[in-house]
Chains A and B, each alone.
Chain A
């Protein structure tokens, strides 16, 4: 008789342990295994979430532990939702989100499409293209700050070379009009390779025989692209959009390094504003309410999006 894995596991169980668990049901044993994980999840994720919700109804300040905490109902939520400055932060975040995702998907897919063609040096180019996403956002932020410097920055010189404009006549990080685009450019430079890799995985998952069948049917390359490539890569693209959307909604380090939220509050994304409220102003209750609003927003949008993604996959 061949030993099954279960039998082998039972034989390997030390006698002491076997004696202790003797008589326990399978369900109880399952709970013993799953319990620590569930406990950790509750302790690390669920409890802080409930605690944050609780704090969001108070005027608690983490830097004044001796101060009496008052429950103030929905006042924090009301203040946040009626604060025009916060709506400006939301707009800045939406601008950043939309345009970074738009450019990253567009360029990332184009690069993946090119890299997917077999040519000499294909692997080398792939490695070179993915280099930016391997760097630390703080490092990227710092060196782009130098590249954008109006007097010595390479970026301004390149633009000047192309357009003939004086390099010191425009400030990417200092201008209200250009600063939101400057952070979009850097994030696109850094994270397009990530979208490219996901698209590449999608492109390589399309079996060759589908294209061969299309060839037999005399479908044009353009038609193959729109009726085979795009629909089959779409779930991958949507996944990339989801990842980048969630990541960029909480974007902090790169933008802090580049602009610090300025000029004025032009590039002050919600995460930067939230950090200021929570750890510089120490309005813990207010910041908790702010965090809950952001959480609900991301969670809601992500849920709708995941449903759409599942529908696309089912097609």
Chain B
């Protein structure tokens, strides 16, 4: 058996070594969400095209439809994508349903080591079952939910004085969730330069994953856990713990007292719009957008600054980001693997960060100059040190939709209490896991 494994590994490595010379030129299609980093990837991939002789096509889907479109594609065994940068939560389904190619042998043959990538990203984006050395993706884009604010407003003496008078404290980057709410409430409805502004833009979207991603940014700092014992699916007492209830009530208060009017169905785009149009003092969004925000001629540069999701009982940020996988239904798997090999190269990873992508490669993250390479780089590192992700189970879509419903019903539609919302969520999730045969 050992010999067989050795022989197959050798065969793969020989085949892989001869990719560049013998493989015929292919047109590879890479699928991802339509957002700023995708444009950076197009730029980066030109180098791959010139080196390999393959050409690259891209299929970028707007975020609200991304999961729907791509999961339908995978479920139907579609051949549209040869490479897919899929959301971290898809890894369970991707692995168990046979959508993604398992990459262990390829990594071994090519000398690609997962220890070269940040642990949190390998755990979240690549492994299934969680934490085991079974890899279905290479960490492609590290990401977390963070915050940005109007540095120019925070720096104004009149506003600082008004804040001090109102709260007795200094106006600064918030150090806790509650301080952040206090600052947002201070700005809510305030007149600045003749315009009424509001506290903060947070996620409240109902249709895809928005409100869940927003609320977990409050739940995690309060110490939220999905299970009492990891892997047990024992959720009662964890998901609906007193801390979780307090965090949920906090988010509802945030929504009701510190967001712009009509902010009932908002996600990434609305958050960016609210900030860029000068409506809000602070906004939450994914780090992936921060390079574009910093470069914005109206609200970027010295008018903006960034901070990591503030702690409360502990540090905690909602994980975003994705790994890159080879789609099992692709006829061009060899060329797709070639792309992954090229992408894992430290030089390519350095260029990826330079262009606006968030590399998860240790050679980039541990570089002494990394923290100062962008105004949000230090915050990104800090965030990635305390990230937590949603369920990554094959039934993740059901789990997510249940949470979307319970949260939106409570926060936006003002139905029931936080305790009831979380109790119902435990019931929903229990039913899903019972159907899955895991309970």
CA of A150 to CA of B264, assembled, Å: 11
Interface residues of B in 366-423 (CB under 8 A from A): 394, 397-398, 401, 405, 408-410, 412-415
Shortest distance from the beta carbon of B248 to any chain A beta carbon, whole Å: 14
Asked whether any CB of chain A lies closer than 8 Å to the CB of B157, the reply is no
B413 adjacent to A263 (CB under 8 Å): yes
Which of B205, B207, B264, B414 counts the most A-chain CB atoms under 10 A from its CB? B264
Asked whether any CB of chain A lies closer than 8 Å to the CB of B265, the reply is yes
Shortest distance from the beta carbon of A59 to any chain B beta carbon, whole Å: 7
Contacts of A263 in B (CB 8 A): 206, 264-265, 408, 412-413
Asked whether any CB of chain A lies closer than 8 Å to the CB of B231, the reply is no
Asked whether any CB of chain B lies closer than 8 Å to the CB of A249, the reply is no
Asked whether any CB of chain A lies closer than 8 Å to the CB of B59, the reply is no
Shortest distance from the beta carbon of A166 to any chain B beta carbon, whole Å: 10
Per a CB cutoff under 8 Å, which of B93, B98, B260, B265 touches A259? Answer: B265
Asked whether any CB of chain B lies closer than 8 Å to the CB of A141, the reply is no
In the complex, the number of residue pairs spanning A and B with C-beta atoms less than 8 Å apart equals 82
Instruction: Of the listed stretches B67-75, B141-149, B220-228, B307-315, name the one at the interface; the rest are far from the partner chain.
Output: B67-75
Main secondary structure of the interface of B (DSSP, over half): loop
Contacts of A265 in B (CB 8 A): 405, 408-409, 413
B262 adjacent to A150 (CB under 8 Å): yes
Contacts of A151 in B (CB 8 A): 260-262
Contact (A264, B413) CB under 8 Å given A66-B97, A66-B98, A281-B397: yes
Asked whether any CB of chain A lies closer than 8 Å to the CB of B435, the reply is yes
A264 adjacent to B409 (CB under 8 Å): yes
Which of A63, A66, A264, A265 counts the most B-chain CB atoms under 10 A from its CB? A264
Closest residue to A153 on the B side, CB-wise? B262
Per a CB cutoff under 8 Å, which of B75, B260, B398 touches A283? Answer: B398
Interface residues of B in 242-270 (CB under 8 A from A): 260-265
Closest residue to B206 on the A side, CB-wise? A262
Contacts of B414 in A (CB 8 A): 176, 264
Closest residue to A145 on the B side, CB-wise? B265
Contacts of B207 in A (CB 8 A): 256, 260-261
Interface residues of B in 84-141 (CB under 8 A from A): 93, 97-98
Closest residue to A151 on the B side, CB-wise? B261
B75 adjacent to A282 (CB under 8 Å): yes
Closest residue to B74 on the A side, CB-wise? A63
Closest residue to A283 on the B side, CB-wise? B398
Main secondary structure of the interface of A (DSSP, over half): loop
Instruction: Of the listed stretches A11-19, A42-50, A96-104, A167-175, name the one at the interface; the rest are far from the partner chain.
Output: A167-175
A280 adjacent to B408 (CB under 8 Å): no
Closest residue to B99 on the A side, CB-wise? A63
Shortest distance from the beta carbon of A281 to any chain B beta carbon, whole Å: 4
CA of A282 to CA of B68, assembled, Å: 11
B72 adjacent to A59 (CB under 8 Å): no
Proximity bits, B9-45, A CB within 8 Å = 1, else 0: 0000000000000000000000000000000000000
Proximity bits, A243-279, B CB within 8 Å = 1, else 0: 0000000000000100111111110000000001001
Contacts of A118 in B (CB 8 A): none
Closest residue to B262 on the A side, CB-wise? A150
Per a CB cutoff under 8 Å, which of B98, B261, B413 touches A266? Answer: B413
Contact (A168, B412) CB under 8 Å given A66-B97, A280-B397, A281-B398: no
B75 adjacent to A62 (CB under 8 Å): yes
Contact (A276, B261) CB under 8 Å given A176-B415, A264-B409: no
Contact-residue size bin, chain B (C-beta under 8 Å from the other chain): 20 to 34
Shortest distance from the beta carbon of A284 to any chain B beta carbon, whole Å: 11
CA of A26 to CA of B31, assembled, Å: 58
Which of A85, A171, A262 counts the most B-chain CB atoms under 10 A from its CB? A262
Closest residue to A260 on the B side, CB-wise? B207
Shortest distance from the beta carbon of A7 to any chain B beta carbon, whole Å: 54
Contact (A281, B401) CB under 8 Å given A63-B71, A265-B413: yes
Per a CB cutoff under 8 Å, which of B98, B265, B409, B435 touches A260? Answer: B265
CA of A168 to CA of B205, assembled, Å: 20
A261 adjacent to B262 (CB under 8 Å): no
A150 adjacent to B261 (CB under 8 Å): yes
Contacts of B415 in A (CB 8 A): 176, 264
Asked whether any CB of chain B lies closer than 8 Å to the CB of A149, the reply is yes
Contact (A173, B265) CB under 8 Å given A59-B435, A63-B97, A265-B413: yes
B68 adjacent to A261 (CB under 8 Å): no
Shortest distance from the beta carbon of B362 to any chain A beta carbon, whole Å: 35
Closest residue to A272 on the B side, CB-wise? B207
B401 adjacent to A280 (CB under 8 Å): yes
Asked whether any CB of chain B lies closer than 8 Å to the CB of A64, the reply is yes
A174 adjacent to B71 (CB under 8 Å): no
Closest residue to A171 on the B side, CB-wise? B262
Proximity bits, B255-287, A CB within 8 Å = 1, else 0: 000001111110000000000000000000000
CA of A64 to CA of B401, assembled, Å: 18
Closest residue to A259 on the B side, CB-wise? B265
B265 adjacent to A264 (CB under 8 Å): no
Contacts of A259 in B (CB 8 A): 265
Shortest distance from the beta carbon of B36 to any chain A beta carbon, whole Å: 24
Shortest distance from the beta carbon of A128 to any chain B beta carbon, whole Å: 30
Proximity bits, A278-293, B CB within 8 Å = 1, else 0: 0111110000000000
Contacts of B405 in A (CB 8 A): 85, 264-265
CA of A83 to CA of B31, assembled, Å: 38
Interface residues of B, Cβ cutoff 8 Å to A: 68, 71-72, 75, 93, 97-98, 205-207, 260-265, 394, 397-398, 401, 405, 408-410, 412-415, 435
Given contact pairs A62-B75, A279-B72, A281-B397, a sample of 9 additional A-B residue pairs in the complex whose CB atoms are under 8 Å apart: A63-B75, A151-B262, A168-B261, A173-B262, A260-B206, A263-B264, A263-B408, A282-B397, A283-B435
9 residue pairs bridging A and B, Cβ less than 8 Å apart: A62-B75, A66-B98, A173-B264, A174-B412, A261-B206, A262-B412, A263-B412, A264-B410, A281-B398
Q: Which 5 A-B pairs have the closest CB atoms?
A: A264-B413, A174-B264, A264-B409, A150-B262, A63-B75
